[in-house]
Structure 1
Amino acid sequence: ELVLDASTSYDPDKTAAENLADPGLTYFWECSQFTLPSGPTQSCSAASASFSITQSSSSSSATVPLVSSLLPLPSGSSYTYDFRLTVTKTSDNQTDSTSITVTVASSPPFPKDVSILPPENRLKVPTISPVILLGSASPPSGGAASLLSYSWSTVVGDVSLSDAGLLSTTLTGTSIVIRADKLTPGISYTFRLTATYLGSESWGEVSFKTNQPPLGGSFSVYPMNGTSLSTSYTLSALGWTDDTEDLPLSYLFSHSSASSLGTPSANPVFSAYLPVGDSTNSTYALNLTLTVRDALSAATVVTLCGLGDSSAAASASAAAFCEVTVMPKTATDSAALLSFVEGIAGVQVLSAVSSYDYLGATNTMQVLLSVMNSG
C-alpha cells in the first residue's frame, strides 16, 4: 500500500498548540499524470477506471492510502506517477501546493526455501573438528537454478566468515566448511545464507552453540616423592564440571615419557607405580599431565597440580608443573626387584591383560624396564 501523507502541514500564523489542536486546513489531492517506461505521459484518468485519485476527485484527509490494485502495473514494468497536493486555509482561503513523483515497479520473483541444516544435526557442536554448514535454496516457480547466487555472513558471533584461514571453502557456494579450532568454545553463533535471483534476495539462518571443555576442577598427586616399585602414587582429578548434555567425563593421566597411565576412565582417581624420573639430573623428576574430556570430545589438558593428602583431596598449593620425584631402586634392592617382578608386576600385568587393559599392562612393564635401565 502506498500512502500519501501531508499530516505535518501547519498554519504558520498559529501557535504550535493551536496547530496541534486544529490547523484549520483542507487538502486537495490529485494525480496529474503517469508515465510508462517507454510510453508517453498520460492523464491519470486514463490509467484505470478504478483509480480514485484523479484530476476531478479530491479528499479532505491529510493522508490518502492507495492500495496496489488502484495503481495499474503490468508485470515486469514500472509506472511513474505525479501526485499534487493543494492545501487551503479555511479562515481566508489562502493556498499552497506541492508535488511528488512516485515510481511503482514490480519486483522480480524471490528465491524459495532458503535453509541451512544445523551442523551434525546438533544445536551444540564441537570445535575440534570442522564445522560443516549445508545450505540449500530453490529458484522461484518456473525459474532457472543457474540464475541463483549465494553469499554467507555472520549474524551473531566473534568471527567474520571472510577472515583469512577461517574457511576451507568459498563464501559463494550453497555450503561452507569452517576449519577445526577456529570457533571459540562456549559461545553462540548465527550464520546466514543469502540467495539472490535477478536482484531479489531471500535468506535463511542457523544458530548453534559451540561446546566448551570441562572446567572448574583440580589435579593433585600424592605423594610428590617416592621410589619406583615401592611407592604407589595416587593421581586425582576432582570437581570437574560440564553441561549435563556433555556428560559423562573421562579422565586420562600421562607422564613426560609420552606414555598414558592406563586408558580414559570415568574414575577421577588413579593409583599406579610410576617409572623412574629423569636420570639426567639428580632430582629424578617426572612430569604428569591430566586430560579431562567430555562426551563431545572437548578436552582440558592440565599440567599444573597441587599436593593431595592421603585421601587424594587437592591442596591450595600448586607447582609450576605437576612434577613428582620417582627415585630408582638401588643395586642393593635386587631382592625387592626380584620380588616385584615375580609378584606385584606379574599380578598387575596378568590382571590388566585379563581385563583387556593392554595399556595398563604396558605401563607396568615400562616401570619395570625403567628400573632395570636405571641400575
Structure 2
Amino acid sequence: AADQRVLRLPALAVPVGGPYTIGVKVEVVGSPSLSATKNVAMTVTRSKLSARLSGGNRAASASRAFTLSSALSKDPDSASTPLNFAWSCKLDGLSVPCTDVSGEALAPPTTATWTLPAFTFTVGSRLKFGVTVSSAAGGDTRTATNSSIIVIVAGNPPEVDIVVPLAERIAPRQRTVLRGSVVAPDGSDIDEAALALQWSVLRGGLVLDTGALSGGVTDTLLNRINLVIAANVLHPGTQYTFQLTAAPLGGGDSGFAEAVVLTNSPPFGGTLVVSPTSGTMVETPFDLTTAAWVDDPVDLPLVYEFGVSSTGGGRRPIADSLQATTVSRTPLPEGHGAGSTLVAYVIATDLLGAASAPAEFSVTVSPPTLGAGESVSAYVQRQSEAVVQDAIASKRPEAATSAVSALAEFLNAEGASDPDVDVTEAREELTADLLDASEITFQSPTTLLQLMLAAITVTDDAETLTEQAVDDVAQLLQVLPPADEDDGVTVSFDAGEAALRVMSNLQAAEELAAAAEDADGSGNGGRRMRSRMLLRGGNGSGRGLATDCDGACERALELANSLRESVGRVAAGVLKPAVPGERPVAMDAGSLGLVAARERSDRLADVHIEVDVDPGATRGGREGPAFIAIDDGFAGGADGVSGRTALDVHVVRLEINPS
C-alpha cells in the first residue's frame, strides 16, 4: 500500500497453517538508532465452503426437463479444490422423500448438476431439493448446504432465475441488487423487451412502489429484469422473499422464481473518547479511541471511519483506520459557535458491510492565536511546514489532509472577513500539501471523499489560485479511478459530487477566464468560451486547438480538457456498480452538474434525458439544449450495437454565469 503503516497481503498469499510471525519496525527518519519493533502471531484457517444453487425457488413445467445446478459452489481458498456433492429431495414441509409419477424413488447424482427428465413429477408438486457440498482438502472435512423449492406447473412457462448477492447476509445500509434472467422453453434467451415482468415481495413486510422511482424504495422499476433496493430501506436482521414473474408479451404461460435475502445486523454499543478534550485548531494533536463494539463473531473484524460533524449537519471523514481502534496525533478543525464545540464521531463497519450508528464525543477546539505581527497567510504557511509536512513525512496522509482542510477553512474565513488579506501564497502551499498527501494515501471510498472535501475548501476562492495551485488541484483529481479501469475504487455519490464541486471551482479560476476572454473577444469575460472549452474541449468548436491559440489560451485548453476527463472519471466511477435501468445519478455542484445513467441500448431509443437549463435570473444562462434525444439508431441497426448492450450515458450541465 502507498501508506507504509499498512501491510496488505493479497488473498491466498499466505498458506493455511501457522502460526506465522508478522513483524514491523518503526524508526525515526534520519536516526535509525531510534526505533521500535513489534511482532504478532497469525494463524491462517480454512474458509467455509460456499454452497450455491442457481435459480432459487421457482416454477418448472411438468412436461419439460429441468436442471438443478450447484456448479457455482466453491472453496474460497482454492479454485482447484475438488468438491463432493450429495443431493436430496423431499416434499416441501415434510420429511417424505420425493418419488416420481410411478411412485419410484429418485436416484440423486453425485455431480454438480441434477437433471430431472420431463414428466417425472405431477402438476402441483412442491419439492424441496437440497445439496450438501463437502471437501476433505487439507485433512479436515468442511461442508455447506443449500436448498431450493421447485413448484411443478402445467403448460410451457419460461424458466426464470434470480441471482442474489454472494454474501450470506447483506448490509441494509448498501443498495441490494437482485439480477433476473429468463430462458425460453427451448433453452434460448428471451430479450427483456419481449417480456411482461413483475417483481413482488412475498415475505418481510416490504411494500414496493409500483409507480415511478420517486417512492425511494427501489432504484429500478418493478417491470425490469433486475431489481435494485435502495440503501437504508431493508431492516437489519430480517428475512425477505422476493419473487420475479415473467411471461411473453405476445401471450403464453408465466414462470416465476423466488429468492430469499437475509439482512445483517450492524455493530452496536461502541464508544468514542477523544483526548485531550480541548485544544487549538491544527496545533493540538488529538487521539480518537473507540471500544466496546458488539457484533456477531462471524462478522468480525470491524473497520472504523473517524470524522467530525460539519456545521450543516453533515459528516467529514478524517481517517479510514482499517482495523485500528485508535487514530493518533490527529489535527482537528476549529469548533463551532461561541464555545468552539466540535463533535467527533466514529462508525464501525463489519465484514459484511453493515455499518453502525455513529458514536460521538464533543471536544472544544479553539481558533489559533497568531504571533505578534504575523499575517494569516504567514500563520497558515508556518503550520503547513510544522504540522502538515510532519504528517506527510511520518506517512500519516489522513492527518495531513485533515490539517490542510482545517487551515483552508481558517484561511477562507479570514479572507472573507478582510478582503485585504493576501492568501495567494498560503493557498498555493495548501494545494501542494494536499497533492503530496494524495500520493501516499491508500485509496478507499472514505479517503477519496476526504481528499475531495479538502480540495473543495482549498479551492473555495478560485480567484486567488495561482497557476501552480491550479495545476496541483487538476493533478489531484487524477486520484479518481480512470474511466476504463474495471477494478478501481468505486466513487461514492458524495465523493463524486465533491469532485465536481472542485472542478466547478477550478473552471472559475482567473487564468482560465482570462485565456477564454482572449479566445472569445466578446467582452463578456469569456464565460461562453470558457463553458465551451470545458464542455467540448478543443477551442470551443469541437475542432481541437485553434492555430492562433497559444500561450495562456493553449494552457487553458489543456486545463479544460483535463477537467473534462475528470468529469468522465466521476461518471464512470459512480456508475461502476450500476445495473441497466437503475435510477440515474444526478449531481448538482455549484456551476457544474452531472446526470449519469446505465441503460440497455434498445431502451435508449427515443429516450429524452432531461437536464435543467432554465435560464433563470438567479442562476445565469447555461450552455446546452433543454434535453438530449437519443434516436433509435441505438436499437440495433446500422450502428451494430446489440439491444442487450449496456451503455453508459452522462450529460454535463455548466452555468456560464453562476451567481
Shift of 1:191: 0.9
Summarize the Cα distance change of 1:333–1:364 in structure 2 as closer, same or farther, 3 Å threshold: farther
Out of 151, 157, 163, the position equivalent to 1:111 is 157
* Cα pair distance change 1:130/1:330, threshold 3 Å: closer
1:220 aligns with 2:273: yes
* C-alpha displacement of 1:238: 0.4
SS of the equivalent of 1:299 reads coil
Letter in 1 for 2:318: L
List aligned pairs for 1:79-118, cutoff 5 A: 109-118=155-164
Question: Do residues 293 (structure 1) and 349 (structure 2) align?
Answer: yes
TM-score by length of 2: 0.32
Whole-angstrom distance in 1 between the partners of 2:282 and 2:224? 61
Structure 1 residue 185 and structure 2 residue 230: aligned?
no
Q: Any stretches of 5+ residues in structure 1 without a counterpart?
A: 1-66, 69-106, 305-321
Secondary structure of 2:347's aligned partner: strand
Is the 1:111–1:137 Cα contact (8 Å) retained in structure 2? Answer: no
Structure with more contact order per residue of length (Cα contacts < 8 Å, sep ≥ 6): 1
Larger Rg: 1
CA deviations on 1:20-59 (whole Å, 9 max, x unpaired) are xxxxxxxxxxxxxxxxxxxxxxxxxxxxxxxxxxxxxxxx
Q: Rate the CA distance shift 1:233–1:113 in 2: closer, same or farther, 3 A.
A: same
The Cα RMSD (Å) is 4.3
The reply to whether residue 268 of structure 1 matches residue 318 of structure 2 is no
Q: Return closer, same or farther for 1:345/1:295 CA change in 2, 3 Å cut-off.
A: farther
Which whole-Å CA distance do the structure 1 matches of 2:357 and 2:347 have between them? 4
Q: Are the structure 2 counterparts of residues 351 and 141 from structure 1 closer, same or farther at C-alpha, using a change threshold of 3 Å?
A: same
Residue 259 (structure 2) aligns with: 206
Note the C-alpha offset of 1:173: 4.2
SS at match of 1:359: helix
Q: Deviations over 1:94-120 (max 9, x none)?
A: xxxxxxxxxxxxx9623253321113x
1:236 aligns with 2:293: no
- The answer to whether residue 179 in structure 2 is matched with residue 123 in structure 1 is no
2:226 to 152, 175, 179: 175
Alignment correspondent of 1:359: 398
Q: Deviations over 1:263-299 (max 9, x none)?
A: 3332112233544644751x22222222223344433
Identity of matched residues, %: 30
Structure showing the higher strand proportion among its residues: 1
TM-score by length of 1: 0.51
Contact 2:336/2:342 (<8 A) preserved: no
In structure 2, distance between residues paired with 1:349 and 1:206: 51
Matches within 5 A, 1:304-319: 304=360
Question: CA shift at 1:155, angstroms?
Answer: 1.9
Q: How many residue pairs get matched?
A: 247
Q: How does 1:309-348 map to 2 (within 5 A)?
A: 322-328=361-367, 330=369
| CA–CA separation in structure 1 for the residues paired with 2:189 and 2:342 | 67
In terms of mean alpha carbon deviation, does 171-180 or 270-279 score higher? 270-279
Q: For the structure 1 residues 209 and 250, does the alpha-carbon distance in structure 2 shift closer, same or farther, using more than 3 Å as the test? A: same
* Residue 133 (1) aligns with residue 166 (2): no
